[in-house]
Amino acid sequence: MIITDTHTHLYSEAFEEDRSDMIKRAIESNVTRFFVPAIDSTYTESMLQLEKDFPQHIFLMMGLHPTHVKIDYKKELEHVEQMLQSRKFYAVGEIGIDLYWDKTTLDIQIEAFRHQINLAKQYKLPIVIHCRESFDEIFHVLEQEKSEDLFGIFHCFTGTLKEAHKAISYNMKLGIGGVVTFKNGKIDQFINQIDLKHIVLETDAPYLAPKPYRGKRNESQYINKVLEKLSELYGISKEAIAKITTENSKQVFGI
């Protein structure tokens, strides 16, 4: 069984003391493909080192996270562009709009999101979307930018069934992680109405650990708890879900 974690911040400071051991634990529990999103330029070196340390398992993205769209965002976007020109990445992400932490930067978040969508089109790459309290704003941009060459993943999908269908209509897979195991997560109430061909698995480690680890540091191996919950909700084996979602990740990332 091969399990793909389509979104994990393995370079996070939360793993400073046991990063290699944590990754090895995940590999031993069948999680052998890790897609690593960017945040800003300060993490680029750590991401490249991860790839050197685990070249068969680590696949990097490049992008500017919406919560890091600050006064110097144009300089950060230049860094994204330079990195995309310099080597292979598997997605532009994570990008999007976050209105939970700071609503005052909405205009420049939209500008950065749109700019990076166009970079993804230019390099024929998928996008990986961060959406927090911003579905309307994200959908507005996607509606304007939609095209056959715009595709990707709605990372950490926590919307409604209607919003799920709308996201899928823009050529997006739904990234399903620990929230599906939460009592108040809500997506467990309808996710089995979504065809599995539209779903990929993720952890967002070190954040959003699934039950029974909720509130603790998340790890990529805990994606097995997400797999167990989806197996229960869809009524098919964990192996079948792992196979389908890994195939879906290959469709998105091309590897």
CA distance linking residue 48 with residue 18, whole number of Å = 18
Nearest by Cα to 231 from 180, 185, 186, 182 = 180
HEC string for 82-93: HHHHHCCCCCEE
pLDDT in the model for residue 185:
86
Handedness of CA 251, 252, 254, 255 (dihedral sign): negative
CA dihedral of residues 1, 158, 253, 197 (deg, nearest 10): 60
Under 8 Å CB-to-CB from 73, ≥6 apart: which residues?
Answer: 64, 108, 111, 112
CA distance linking residue 97 with residue 211, whole number of Å = 27
Q: Which domains are assigned to the chain?
A: 3-253 (3.20.20.140)
Helix (H) or strand (E) holding 206, with range, is none
Q: How many CA atoms lie within 13 A of 120 on its CB side?
A: 34
Under 8 Å CB-to-CB from 98, ≥6 apart: which residues?
Answer: 66, 67, 109, 130, 131, 132, 133, 134
pLDDT in the model for residue 127:
98
- pLDDT tens series, the chain, 255 aa: 999 999 999 999 999 999 999 999 999 999 999 999 999 999 999 999 999 999 999 999 999 999 999 999 999 999 999 999 999 999 999 999 999 999 999 999 999 999 999 999 999 999 999 999 999 999 999 999 999 999 999 999 999 999 999 999 999 999 999 999 998 889 999 999 999 999 999 999 999 999 999 999 999 999 999 999 999 999 999 999 999 999 999 999 999
pLDDT in the model for residue 79:
98
Provide the edge-to-edge strand list for the sheet that holds 31-36. 3-5, 31-36, 58-60
